[in-house]
Amino acid sequence: DSGVTQTPKHLITATGQRVTLRCSPRSGDLSVYWYQQSLDQGLQFLIQYYNGEERAKGNILERFSAQQFPDLHSELNLSSLELGDSALYFCASSGGGLAGVYEQYFGPGTRLTVT
Amino acid sequence: SQKIEQNSEALNIQEGKTATLTCNYTNYSPAYLQWYRQDPGRGPVFLLLIRENEKEKRKERLKVTFDTTLKQSLFHITASQPADSATYLCALGSSYKLIFGSGTRLLVRP
């Protein structure tokens, strides 16, 4: 158990809909990262927050947004969903704000299926 | 653009042997390199981190090397066990990002 929690575990929704994925980092960790993993793309970095502020952005679509709240939990919002958005979405946390410097602890993931 | 190459074919070895996985990269000079283990349907689990000024790092049965001239990292598991069967991801790191390779699947036969 990494100490990172994600809800929900599974999500099935239709194209065009909007969903929110939630992540609680390990106790004491200030950084939260979001990743998308699909079969043909591997683990793709989406966005990082550190202590409530956006720190780095990866290949995140404009239809996707995220935020980190004062209690450090984070939410990833996916809107106007398309079939290609079906994937595993992972949240990870680390103690520091420098992505490559610290090991990251991953949650169990949310499996999103868009039909 | 940055490219990370890990063998897409599964590595199939006998229990007790040493498994060696390769991570090659181009168009990038990472200051850090990390290795993770991922089991099907689960989140990656951190294994080792090595810095660019370190040649080798060990942890129990695991050993990682980092050759910045060859732009390559090797990941070794000695005395491999069936429980080591998983996908192993290398990740290149700078201060602001960590980029993952697509991973190599390791199968250890009893």
Q: Is A25 on the interface with B (CB under 8 A)?
A: no
Q: Which residue has the tokens 């370190």?
A: B54
**Predicted local confidence at residue B76, as pLDDT:** 98
Computed over every residue of chain B, the mean pLDDT equals 93
CA distance A38 to A24: 22
pLDDT tens profile B57-70 = 999 999 999 999 99
Contacts of residue B60, defined as CB under 8 A and 6 or more positions apart, other chains included, come to none
Name the DSSP class of B83: G
Classify A102 as helix, strand or coil.
Answer: coil
- Averages of pLDDT over runs of 10 residues in chain A (115 residues) are 95 98 96 92 91 92 96 97 97 86 94 97
In this complex, do B93 and A45 lie within 8 Å of one another by their Cβ atoms?
A: no
Name the DSSP class of A101: T
**Which of residues 31 through 70 in chain A touch B, CB cutoff 8 A?**
33, 35, 42-45, 55-56, 58
Q: Is A23 on the interface with B (CB under 8 A)?
A: no
In this complex, do B93 and A101 lie within 8 Å of one another by their Cβ atoms?
A: yes
